Amino acid sequence: MTPELLTQLLADVEAKRTVVLCTDLQSGEARLVHPYAPEAGLDPALLQACREAAAVDRSQKWERPAGALFLRVFHPPVRLVIVGAVHIAQSLGRMAQLAGYDVVVVDPRRAFATEQRFLGIPLSNEWPDEALRRLGVDRRTAVVTMTHDPKIDDPALAAALRSDAFYVGALGSKKTQEARRERLRGQGFSEVEVGRICGPVGLPIGAVSPGEMAISILSQLVEKLRKPAGSRPA
């Protein structure tokens, strides 16, 4: 790897861009491929291989007639934006951190989003759409709304639906979800877009306590991340 390549790679990591380092296993020659913002004139087969490696988040050898390449995937960390500094968010935030995710809890209601209640979890008192704009929601970002207040949840969901977020979840009963979908349709979101929202949120494991709810949500998030095609429709 040349110093120039390393500099570019570090810049990509810093900018939270997914990048694949492709190294020729015979010559040692290396190049970078951005699977989601591909360079012009890139070999389509190589791009496809890089996209597949990125999708499964696994570095791997890629055999081709001209010799094997090793595809090393550099992903930005998975991020979870929790909107609503509620009880379940306390459990979900800690569990997601244990899973290795970058977590931020967003709630303009300062009385809820306090350090004492969310020890060690980054907090933001911005309105969620402002926070999501600042954070830059990408395909490695999950957004879950939990305030039960449409004034706060709806702008977050609208921003999430306009992004590449891999997971959009919304706490609330079936009845709440239907009213919410109706409001979002009223804002011009299509049936398919609104259908991206997982709600009632979480896998149906019969969760009752806040901790169990967190497990159910986190499980669904992992499923969307790791088995996007196999996921049940919401």
Partner 1 sequence: MSAEDIYHEALVRLSRQATGAGHLEAPGGSAAVDNPLCGDRVTMEVRLEGGRIAALAHQVRGCLLCQAAASMLGRLGPGSTGGEIALARAGLVAMLEGGPAPTGRFAELSVFEPVRAVKSRRRCAVLPFEALGEAVARAGR
Please report how close the Cβ of residue 154 comes to partner 1 at its closest, in angstroms: 12
Which residues are at the interface with partner 1 (CB under 8 A)?
Answer: 107-111, 125, 127, 149, 151-152
Please report how close the Cβ of residue 148 comes to partner 1 at its closest, in angstroms: 12
Residue type at 117 in one-letter notation? R
Say if residues 84 and 125 touch (Cβ distance below 8 Å). no
Nearer to partner 1, 101 or 127 (CB): 127
Element (H, E) at 73: strand 69-74
Nearer to partner 1, 52 or 149 (CB): 149
Nearer to partner 1, 94 or 109 (CB): 109
Please report how close the Cβ of residue 120 comes to partner 1 at its closest, in angstroms: 21
Letter string b/e over residues 19-48, b meaning 16 or more CB atoms within 10 A of that residue's CB? bbbbbeeeeeebbbbbbeeeeeeeeeebbe
CA distance 96 to 23: 33
Nearer to partner 1, 149 or 212 (CB): 149
Please report how close the Cβ of residue 33 comes to partner 1 at its closest, in angstroms: 41
Say if residues 234 and 180 touch (Cβ distance below 8 Å). no
